[in-house]
Every structure is written in C-alpha cells, then in structure tokens.
Amino acid sequence: MSRILLLAVAVLAVVVVVRTASYRPEPVAPPGPGASLDLDGDAVIARLGEAIRFRTVSRQPPAGIDEAEFEGFLRWLRDTYPAVFAELDVARVGGYSLLAEWPGRDPSARPVLLAAHYDVVPVVEGSEAAWQYPPWEGRVADGYVWGRGALDNKNAVVALMEAVSWLLARGERPARTVYLSFGHDEEVGGEAGAAAVVERLQGRGVNLAWSLDEGSFVYRDIFPGVEVPIATINTAEKGSLTVRIVASAEGGHSSMPPRETAVGRLARALVALEDHPLPGGLEGLPADTFDAVAPHMPWLPRALFANRWLFGPLVERQLADLPFANAMLRTTTAPTMLAASPKVNVLPPEAVATVNFRIHPRDSVEGVVDHVKQRVAGEHVRLEVVDGNPASAVADSGSQGFERLATAVRAEYGDLVVAPGLLVAATDSRHYGRIAENAFRFNPMVVTQAELSGFHGTDERIGIDGLLAGVRTYIRLLRTL
C-alpha cells in the first residue's frame, strides 16, 4: 500500500510540475515601435494642474453644487482647447455635461464614444493639513500632479482633449465618428449627465460599436512577483444595492435595559451578514483576469493557479483574504452607516444600519435581497430596500473594440499583460452601456499600489510620466479608428 501511495504522490507531483511548466503567458506578436509623438509635456502637465483648481465637487443630494465652479471649468475648457470647440459639434447636456461629435470619414461605420467625468468627491473637512500639497492647488512636484481629480477623473478629461487637439492640429480625422462625453455628476450616479447624454444619442438613433469610460489602469507593482505592467481593461462593473436594517425593541431609560435592546439585535444582524457573505468563486471574468496574470507570477503561486483542479479551494481562500481580490470573487457586504439613540441614557426603540452590497455579475438584486432576509429578517428586525442597480452586462474581450484598445496600449507601453477585468465600483458606463454593443472601462495611465490610496482619499496624485503616456495612448487609439 505504501508503494502505491508513494507512486500516486510521485505521479501527482509530476502532473503538477508539468502543468505549471506549461502554464506560461500566451505568445503575443510584439507591437511595432510606436511612432514618436511630440507632445508638449510641460504644457499638458500644467493644464491638468489648472483643471484641478476648479472645485467641481459633487455632494450627495439634496446638497447642491457650486455652479460658479462648474461654469468656470467649462469656460476654461473652451478657452484652453479652442480647436476642439471650433471643429467638433459640442453641446451642453443635462446642465453641465458636454457631448462632442467628431464626424468620421466613413458614415457607414458604427461610432464609438470616449468618456470621462470632471466632477470630484469632496475633500474631508479638516483633512487638508494631512495632504503633502494642498488638494485644490494642482501642484506639480516630485514627479506628480497633485490634487483632487488627478486620478478621478480630470486626468482623462484633459488627456482626451489633448489627444483630440493634437490630431486636429495635424489635420487628422478618424474614419468612424467619435463622440466625447464629459459628465458633471458621475460621483452621484450620473443621472443628470451621462443619462441625459444617452437619451440624446438615443433620440438620434445612435448605436455605438463600443464605449470607453474610466476604470482600471496600467498597474505596476500590484501583484507581488509580477514584474511586467498589467493593463486591466474592465469588461463589466458590479451593481449596487443599498438596504436599511431596522431592529426594534422596548425603549426607555438606559438604567433599566431589557434583555435584548434594539442596538444588540442590530449588532447580531450585522455580525450574521458579515459571517455569511454571499458565495463567491474564481470563475468567469475573475478567472479570465487571473489566467492572464498568473503565468507571470513566481513558481509557487503559478503552480497553485495552474492546478486549480487540485488547489482551487486553497487559492480561493487566499484570494478572499485580500480585499481587492475578494471583491472580484463575490458580491461584497459593507455596513456603512449606523443610527440609534440621540442621547447617552436613552434606549432607542429602533436602531438602523445602512448596508451597501456591490453585486457580482453572477448575482441579482433580488437574489441579494433574499439572502439578507434569510440571514437577518425576523419578528424584531426588518429590511428596507433603499435602491438597487444590477451588475452590467459583460463586454466581449474578443471584440474589435477590445483588440483596438489592447493594440494602442501595447504600442505605447510595449511588453505588458492585457487582461479583461471586473470593475468593483460604479461608473457612468452603466448608462453608456445602454447604447453600446460593448462597454469598456479603462484609464490608459500608469499607477502603483501606493498611488491608488489617493483615490477618493488623501494625497490624490498622478505620475507625470503616466499622464503623458495616457495622452499618447489616446492618440494611438483614435488613430486606429
């Protein structure tokens, strides 16, 4: 028996080694050397700094916006890029969003849409001193452009305008019609901006071959041991569900609490949700992402991914311990807001938690609501649905649009991994996808793990080299159209 066992172990080891050895990156024809693009880098960098100085902040409704800042930004855009406004048909939509049409040479070719948004999230009051450079100054220092909007998403607005201006200056025009859409309310859902743009295009009977909006980046140093950059072109984004969990109990004075309080019941409900997340798994789109990245990993993790038939549960447990990877595997559960007693010695008759779920494409809004009800609903705990949006459709990573994006990125960056991915946040693409055969989400600019911490946070910044590479990638992409 021991010999049979040893033989089985030896055979298994050979299978693992052979499969690992053959689990290598797929050969990709090396791109030809990209044509030199003579950008005025200093001017591009300075213009992003100027854009950041406009405090185009979207606040959660019913709070309003500072209309003067939004008007000022739109005037600046027109003054800074006069050729775009002179040669493209540019219209304001939904109040402060812009839609520009660049007619192509071939009217029979289906158009594409390139999008970005210029509204930004607030800087947390009192946190300004924690920034290395003031968040609204647009300072250029230490190899970065600093400030709110540098990553999300004025960088893309400026980069697209720079790319189109560069091509116009050289008399170039795309074969197919290109639309540019710059939203003003993406950070609060895009209902007045991107949604209105889509309605206008629908009214014209426009059906897009594909759209490109913000999403992932060209990542460096994201996965330990992976030395090549990774361009994750998101082909889908998660949906969102927000619910309120309301626990009730007898109120009164805190000196005579009942056996179960509303706060205690609410706490147990939240623990039950966190202890029983929705099922996940390395399949579908997340599997496609890791199958593109894992062959570039060191030998041991590569062996685990190459032999998921054997190590699958271990791989999934390890990934579930990493917040960014766990978010790719499943619908996530995040309690975000709590409300109970207004006073220290008052027992509240109700305690309320707001919980946000980011819905994986495999799940539905209705299915997540049923899951929550099964875990928490009862005689003293009820569920109230605030709002819900399903996950997007999954775009085709074998389509011409994806290949054009991949070609443009490789022409700029050379040897790198291009992989389809799942965006765990929400973008205006959930609107654009209504009129696009495929909706992609990708920023063609380099970021590192350290720089990602500034996304909606402190010290938001973008590397100068990454910004300029993004402009050049947009130029190359537009030339392929």
Question: Catalytic site residues?
Answer: 119, 186
Place of tokens 């549960």: 313
Query: Measured between alpha carbons, how far is 306 from 312 in angstroms, rounded to an integer?
Result: 10
First-to-final CA distance of the chain: 66
| Single-letter amino acid, residue 97 | S
Quickly list DSSP for 312-381: HHHHHHHHHTSHHHHHHHS-EEEEEEEE--SSTTEE-SEEEEEEEEEE-TTS-HHHHHHHHHHHH-SSSE
Compute the distance between CA of residue 125 and CA of residue 82 in angstroms, rounded to an integer: 36
Longest dimension (CA), the chain: 83
Other CB atoms within 10 Å distance of the CB of residue 128: 12
Per-residue burial over 100-109, b = 16 or more CB atoms within 10 Å of its CB, e = otherwise? bbbebeeeee
Closest listed residue to residue 218, CA positions, set 235, 204, 231:
231
Give the number of other CB atoms < 10 A from CB of residue 183.
Answer: 33
**388, 420 contact by CB (below 8 A):** no
State CA 408 to chain mean position distance.
20
Q: How far is CA 198 from CA 99, 179, 192, 206, in A?
A: 10, 11, 10, 9
